[in-house]
Amino acid sequence: SGDSTTPYTECDIPTPCSVYGKTKLLGEEYVKTFCKRRFIIRTAWLYSHKGKNFVKTIARLATTNGEVKVVNDQVGSPTNVADLAHHIFKLIGTEEYGTYHGSGNGECSWYDFACKIVEYAGISAAVTPCTTAEFPTPTKRPAYSVLDNLMFRSTVGDEFRHWDEALKAFFLNKPT
């Protein structure tokens, strides 16, 4: 629901606050009903060099506009897709079936994340914080969506990097 102030573990009962979250939960329940051997992996704030994502959007807007305004009262854990893929490969070779949280370690606001994106991309732009109320969207977003990778730590190990370290590596390892 986003009402917590501590990271969510896989043992917490999901109470999604949006249609998007509710449909994801329905998908999980469907898989649990029909598949005995299954891996369900929840992730958050995912970014990569391919496709659309927050990192690429902020870099584009900061370059184009010289400034970006970003919410500072929504907190989560940015996840580099390379880290998630690494953990999926470790997991699929096992029989450690279940539900996993797989996200970058540590937490930050969207504003904190945007500041680091602009810094690591080497863009000269102003990043200004705002509240969710000042940046209305039709979709309700959780104020706190930090995931604890408890099940990874308990099985194959949690090697997710801290979000800041993974983001820095993202900019250092740009594909050509």
Active site residues: 20
Q: Which of 117, 111, 116, 121 is nearest to 76 (CA)?
A: 111
What is the chain written as a DSSP string? ----SSPBPTTSPP---SHHHHHHHHHHHHHHHH-SS-EEEE--SEE-SSS--HHHHHHHHHHHHSEEEEESS-EE--EEHHHHHHHHHHHHTS---EEEE---BS-EEHHHHHHHHHHHHT---EEEEE-TTTS--SS---SB--B--HHHHHTT---PPBHHHHHHHHHHT---
CA 77, CA 147: separation in Å to the nearest integer?
7
